[in-house]
Amino acid sequence: MFADPTSRRWLVLRALAEERLREGFLGRAARVYGWGIAVSYGALMLVAPGSAFTLFTRAVVTGAGIVGTLVASALLRDVLAEPRRNAVASLARENGFGPRELLLARGAAASVRFVKVIGVPGAVLACLALAMHVVQAGAAR
């Protein structure tokens, strides 16, 4: 039922790598941009409910581009960092993980971080787009 100790340690390594992606300017900027895009496009949906689905698709594309770039930049910052000054790399080395496993953990962490930063505001925006569609359909009757 429970994973073996090596895979649990890898999951902890991935969680630490994700925590590293979350901190600093790039991590905060990604979160702010994700929610900022959702709020601004949500306000436009309230003004023009007939265009809700078009606005939703544009918000997702915009968010994926901007937030994806910020998360990728944070990932590159960590991958290209000097190993002696990088806490996640030091912990990986101490736990017997090689550079390949660390890179895989960082890639998985970047994927999880991207989904969290763009997925949650995107889900809220999708609910708003659906509500606007229902309101528009009710008004047409």
- CB contact set of 42 (below 8 Å; sequence gap of 6+): 124, 125, 128
Burial class (CB in 10 A: 0-12, 13-18, 19+), 68: middle
Q: Show the domain range for 21.
A: 5-140
Q: What pLDDT does 86 receive?
A: 80
pLDDT at residue 119 tops 60: yes
Domains in the chain: how many in total?
A: 1
Host H or E run for residue 90: helix 87-94
CB 22 within 8 A of CB 88: no
What confidence category does residue 3 fall into, taking pLDDT thresholds of 50, 70 and 90? low
What confidence category does residue 80 fall into, taking pLDDT thresholds of 50, 70 and 90? confident
72-76, 99-103, 125-129: least confidently modelled range: 99-103
Burial class (CB in 10 A: 0-12, 13-18, 19+), 29: middle
CA–CA separation, 35 vs 49, rounded Å? 20
What confidence category does residue 1 fall into, taking pLDDT thresholds of 50, 70 and 90? very low
